[in-house]
Amino acid sequence: MESFIEVKDLTKQYMSATEVPILALRNLNLDAFENEIVSIMGPSGSGKTTLLNILGGIDTPTSGFARVGSYFLTAPDMMTRFFSSASHTDFRRSTVGFIFQLHNLSPIHTAQENVELPLIFAGVSREIRNKRAKELLENVGLSDRATHRPDALSGGERQRVAVAAAFANKPKLILADEPTGELDYENSRMLCDLFLQLKKLEDYTMILVTHDSKVAGIGDHVLEMRDGAIRGEIPKESVTDIKLTPSGTEEEKLQKAAPIPFPPKFCGSCGSNSIIIPKMDSKTGLWTESGGQKTHIELKFAQCANCGHVFWQPSKIEMDK
């Protein structure tokens, strides 16, 4: 399988005010497969934001190779040869969603309008963007806050609106830069839960930069960044300890951890609202393993009657003792 993100020998040099060059990235290598969450931890100044800015097409590397899907994010002198600035903008709009430490919501727009803004820039019709924004606010558990402006929302709610906005254009790549940096433990936990729940509704690959090892633990891989390069992978066992599911019985945990209505009312794949539930074997499931504990998850399925896209959600979780 070919990786979705491929970065080789990436270098970024900034000139400081005193004309001393700063090497923010030094021969950085990174690979990520489609639908993975890759967490990156590293001290302040190690180049994490610089890397995200390059992967998101808002900055360009000094040298090296970076590819996201079919887009090659080359050095500035090459950019003009391979990309017009328009296609660079197109890359951002079609492929990337950003989530920052401080939500970047418009203070004069409501939650619903904030989620619609990226869709307006993408030229999506009023009817479709209205529907998509409603769907996303529902997915992040904020349907009842749709008409609130950011100043009437809590920090955790604002960040969830920012997540909904980042997902608006169905980006293949979500770049999150310290998304829980301003949140308390409970809101951080909720945001992590949300990222994992959204995996069932949206296809996305995420690069998640965080200082918090509990947050990093939701990643399929946790990478350590130092001095402008990825220095290695941190074993999952040493980071996974955020309490992702609230206490209670397995069934209660499942319901609390799965706030997303199922079957979904709206097909994220084709935009139609004709979803049906096919008769699939209810025993269909999958095994996951975490810290030596094997868990069997049964799945329920729904299918869009219009485009055939199949949705699934866990319906039962059994621990293997």
CB of 49 to ligand ADP, least distance (A): 3
Does 49 participate in binding ligand ADP (rule CB under 6 A)? Answer: yes
Distance CA 221, CA 291 (A): 14
Going by the DSSP 8-state scheme, the letter that residue 221 receives in this structure is: E
CB of 155 to ligand ADP, least distance (A): 21
Does 70 participate in binding ligand ADP (rule CB under 6 A)? Answer: no
Tokens in use for 224?
């350590």
Distance CA 72, CA 315 (A): 40
Q: Going residue by residue from 235 to 264, which x/- string records binding to Mg ion, judged by CB under 5 A? A: ------------------------------
Tell me which stretch binds ligand ADP (CB under 6 A): 42-50, 73-81, 158-166, 210-218.
42-50
Packed helices 155-166 and 126-139: angle between N→C axes, nearest 10 degrees: 130
Does 137 participate in binding ligand ADP (rule CB under 6 A)? Answer: no
Distance CA 306, CA 294 (A): 37
CB of 92 to ligand ADP, least distance (A): 18
Packed helices 126-139 and 111-121: angle between N→C axes, nearest 10 degrees: 130
Instruction: Report DSSP letters for 258-274, one per residue.
Output: --S-SS-SS-TTT----
Beta bridge partners of 300: 313
Write the CA distances from 18 to 15, 22, 47, 237, integer angstroms: 8, 10, 20, 44
CB of 210 to ligand ADP, least distance (A): 11
Instruction: Report DSSP letters for 293-312, one per residue.
Output: EEEEEEEEEEEETTT--EEE
Does 16 participate in binding ligand ADP (rule CB under 6 A)? Answer: yes
Does 14 participate in binding ligand ADP (rule CB under 6 A)? Answer: yes
Is the CB of 181 or the CB of 285 nearer to Mg ion?
181
Does 24 participate in binding ligand ADP (rule CB under 6 A)? Answer: yes
Tell me which stretch binds ligand ADP (CB under 6 A): 39-47, 68-76, 124-132, 280-288.
39-47
**Contacting residue, 48, 103, 129, 132, with ligand ADP by CB under 6 A:** 48
**Contacting residue, 49, 53, 205, 210, with Mg ion by CB under 5 A:** 49
160 contact, one of ligand ADP, Mg ion, none, CB 5-8 Å limit per kind: none
Residues that bind ligand ADP (CB under 6 A): 14, 16, 22, 24, 42, 44-50
